């Protein structure tokens, strides 16, 4: 057998590399053109057709990368959700900063792996520098540390995992890493508000404690945890012989943007011998705003904090971090492998504090962003965004066909169609109308808005993220929604 060795054409090789340069240029040109011509959040191609066209792609005969880029552009990019469009406004799904996108280019081409220093010499120090910067911003103190994660889900899981292991050691010097769950694990409880993110339950399940270990505490009208009820819940659980070990506080609930009274929650947790974790995936970013940072007061006393950079820090997916107040707690994750992170290694191996092994160099995105955009600029983005959200809410309040469901706390607006629109429709038919409306706006490509429930009622939601949005974007959006609503009613 003879090998024809021109395989280097497939790799981003060292040395003169025309194939790589050409493909990169072609891709960038395609994206530029797409962005220039785009005029809707989504192409409007019927989902069944889109699926059929994607399934029809045949891998049996390769074509040139040039063709593949062209076809990818025509089929995939053109039918992608355009997060930059002002009417893509459903989720905590951000348009990324240019600095973050170009950092991705470095990240991809260099392909550093964050587990050990010998795979990521400069990258290891970059990640540690950003982590140190974060610990400083959140004033976590001398013993603080952190690690980059794939996002809020992984950060919440890690925070609760460290809490579980810390508690078992406090309780009975039980080492979960070595011996698995302690015999009292069925009594262990995590406490959070009924507006907390579902990843608290998911974490509990992954941690072997089961979703039943999560106890929900009611929230007040603003969606913040009722701190008296929290204290009462802890007392009752203890009186029943159960073991509350972690309290999760929300710094920005996904729907309402509610920020719990962090200082009180952390104090209650501490007095009860519980770990305090702050889920700051949405709202922890406010720490960079001089105007709004006081709303996070108490975050500096938490045992762990989840921060999500692919939300209000405008980073490409994925990018998040977990910060902890006392780095000694990372020891419960430490496992030495002879081939990777030997005991006594002098150079730092970030795998020592991560649940991942091979890991992306996402920290570069924040590194380049902080240098190119600046910390102060973020504060201005948030001040503008939160004020714009209030103006959008007022606009909805004054509109005869819409009804505001609650005063915005962060950058979401929850609203419904007005009772005038409801007319003779039953509550169920009216809910159905909201659902149909959202789906129709999505599949036609006109607007991407969210649907959720408030007090059992179906409501529509805008999530404002981009500081490039203006009030006039919402005049147009509300017009589109009104127009589609009236068309739906008239065809009934």
Ligand X SMILES: *Cc1c(COP(=O)(O)O)cnc(C)c1O
Which residue, 320 or 408, is less far from ligand X as judged by CB?
320
Q: How far is 319 from 313, CA to CA, in rounded Å?
A: 9
Output the smallest distance, CB 307 to ligand X, in A.
10
Is 254 a binder of ligand X (CB under 6 A)?
yes
Which residue, 146 or 445, is less far from ligand X as judged by CB?
146
Output the smallest distance, CB 172 to ligand X, in A.
31
In the list 92, 207, 284, 409, the residue contacting ligand X (rule: CB under 6 A) is 92
CB 408 within 8 A of CB 257: yes
DSSP-based three-state secondary structure for 412: strand
CB 301 within 8 A of CB 139: no
Which residue, 119 or 389, is less far from ligand X as judged by CB?
389
In the list 189, 195, 197, 461, the residue contacting ligand X (rule: CB under 6 A) is 197
Is 153 a binder of ligand X (CB under 6 A)?
yes
DSSP assignment of 23-61 equals HHHHHHHHHHHHHHH--SSS----HHHHHHHHHT---SS
Which residue, 153 or 349, is less far from ligand X as judged by CB?
153
- Provide the mask over 256-295, with x wherever binding to ligand X is found by CB under 6 A and - wherever it is not: -----------------------x-xx-------------
Output the smallest distance, CB 409 to ligand X, in A.
13
Number of residues that bind ligand X (CB under 6 A): 14
Q: How far is 123 from 315, CA to CA, in rounded Å?
A: 17
**What are the C-alpha distances in Å from 375 to residues 138, 280, 281, 320?**
13, 18, 18, 17
Output the smallest distance, CB 256 to ligand X, in A.
11
Output the smallest distance, CB 281 to ligand X, in A.
3
Which residue, 155 or 484, is less far from ligand X as judged by CB?
155
Is 304 a binder of ligand X (CB under 6 A)?
no
Q: Which residue has the tokens 């002098």?
A: 346
In the list 104, 115, 145, 308, the residue contacting ligand X (rule: CB under 6 A) is 308
Which residue, 279 or 473, is less far from ligand X as judged by CB?
279
DSSP assignment of 424-481 equals T--HHHHHHHHHHHHHHHHHTTS-B-EEEEETTEEEEEEE---TT--HHHHHHHHHHH
Is 313 a binder of ligand X (CB under 6 A)?
no
Is 403 a binder of ligand X (CB under 6 A)?
no
Task: Dig out the tokens for 261 from the structure.
Answer: 């009274």
Q: Among 101-109, 150-158, 208-216, 338-346, which window interacts with ligand X (CB under 6 A)? A: 150-158
Output the smallest distance, CB 169 to ligand X, in A.
26
Output the smallest distance, CB 296 to ligand X, in A.
14
Which residue, 281 or 296, is less far from ligand X as judged by CB?
281
Q: How far is 257 from 295, CA to CA, in rounded Å?
A: 12
Output the smallest distance, CB 250 to ligand X, in A.
6
Half-sphere exposure of 48 (CA within 13 A, CB side): 0
Output the smallest distance, CB 366 to ligand X, in A.
14
Q: How far is 379 from 287, CA to CA, in rounded Å?
A: 8
Which residue, 249 or 481, is less far from ligand X as judged by CB?
249
Rg, C-alpha atoms of the chain: 25
Q: Among 80-88, 152-160, 211-219, 424-432, which window interacts with ligand X (CB under 6 A)? A: 152-160
Max Cα distance, the chain (Å): 79
Closest residue to ligand X, judged by C-beta, is 152
- b/e map of 103-114 (b: 16 or more CB within 10 Å)? bbeebeeeebbb
271-409-195-278 Cα dihedral, nearest 10 degrees: -40
Which residue, 243 or 284, is less far from ligand X as judged by CB?
284
DSSP-based three-state secondary structure for 357: coil
Give me the residues that bind ligand X (CB under 6 A), please.
92, 151-153, 156, 197, 199, 252, 254, 279, 281-282, 308, 320
């Amino acid at each position: 057998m003879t090998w024809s060795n021109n395989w280097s054409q497939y790799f981003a090789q060292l040395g003169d590399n025309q194939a790589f340069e050409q493909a990169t240029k072609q891709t960038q040109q395609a994206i530029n053109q797409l962005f220039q011509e785009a005029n809707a959040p989504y192409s409007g191609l019927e989902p069944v057709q889109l699926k059929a066209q994607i399934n029809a792609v045949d891998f049996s005969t390769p074509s040139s990368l040039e063709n593949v880029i062209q076809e990818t552009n025509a089929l995939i990019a053109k039918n992608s959700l355009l997060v930059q469009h002002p009417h893509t406004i459903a989720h905590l799904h951000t348009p990324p900063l240019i600095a973050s996108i170009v950092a991705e280019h470095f990240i991809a081409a260099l392909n550093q792996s964050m587990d050990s220093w010998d795979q990521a010499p400069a990258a290891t120090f970059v990640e540690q520098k950003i982590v140190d910067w974060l610990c400083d911003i959140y004033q976590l103190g001398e013993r603080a540390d952190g690690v980059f994660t794939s996002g809020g889900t992984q950060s919440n899981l890690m925070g609760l995992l460290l809490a579980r292991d810390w508690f078992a050691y406090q309780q009975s010097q039980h080492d979960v890493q070595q011996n698995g769950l302690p015999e009292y694990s069925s009594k262990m409880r995590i406490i959070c508000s009924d507006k907390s993110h579902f990843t608290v339950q998911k974490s509990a399940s992954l941690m072997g404690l089961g979703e039943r270990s999560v106890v929900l505490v009611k929230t007040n009208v603003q969606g913040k945890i009722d701190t008296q009820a929290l204290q009462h819940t802890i007392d009752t659980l203890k009186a029943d012989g159960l073991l509350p070990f972690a309290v999760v506080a929300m710094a920005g609930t996904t729907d309402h943007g509610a920020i719990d009274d962090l200082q009180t929650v952390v104090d209650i947790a501490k007095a009860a011998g519980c770990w305090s974790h702050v889920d700051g995936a949405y709202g922890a970013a406010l720490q960079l705003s001089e105007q709004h940072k006081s709303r996070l007061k108490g975050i500096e006393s938490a045992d762990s904090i989840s921060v999500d950079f692919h939300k209000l820090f405008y980073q490409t997916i994925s990018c998040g971090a977990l910060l902890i107040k006392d780095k000694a707690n990372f020891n419960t994750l430490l496992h030495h492998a002879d081939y990777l992170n030997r005991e006594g290694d002098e150079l730092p191996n970030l795998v020592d504090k991560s649940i991942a092994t091979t890991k992306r160099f996402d920290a570069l995105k924040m590194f380049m962003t902080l240098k190119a955009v600046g910390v102060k600029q973020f504060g201005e983005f948030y001040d503008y965004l939160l004020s714009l959200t209030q103006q959008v809410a007022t606009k909805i309040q004054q509109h005869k066909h819409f009804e505001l469901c609650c005063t915005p706390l962060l950058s979401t607006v929850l609203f419904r169609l007005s009772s005038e629109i409801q007319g003779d429709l039953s509550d169920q038919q009216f809910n159905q109308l909201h659902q149909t409306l959202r789906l129709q706006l999505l599949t036609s490509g006109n607007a991407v808005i969210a649907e959720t429930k408030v007090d059992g009622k179906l409501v529509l939601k805008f999530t404002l993220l981009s500081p490039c949005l203006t009030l006039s974007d919402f005049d147009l959006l509300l017009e589109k929604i009104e127009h589609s609503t009236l068309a739906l009613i008239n065809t009934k």
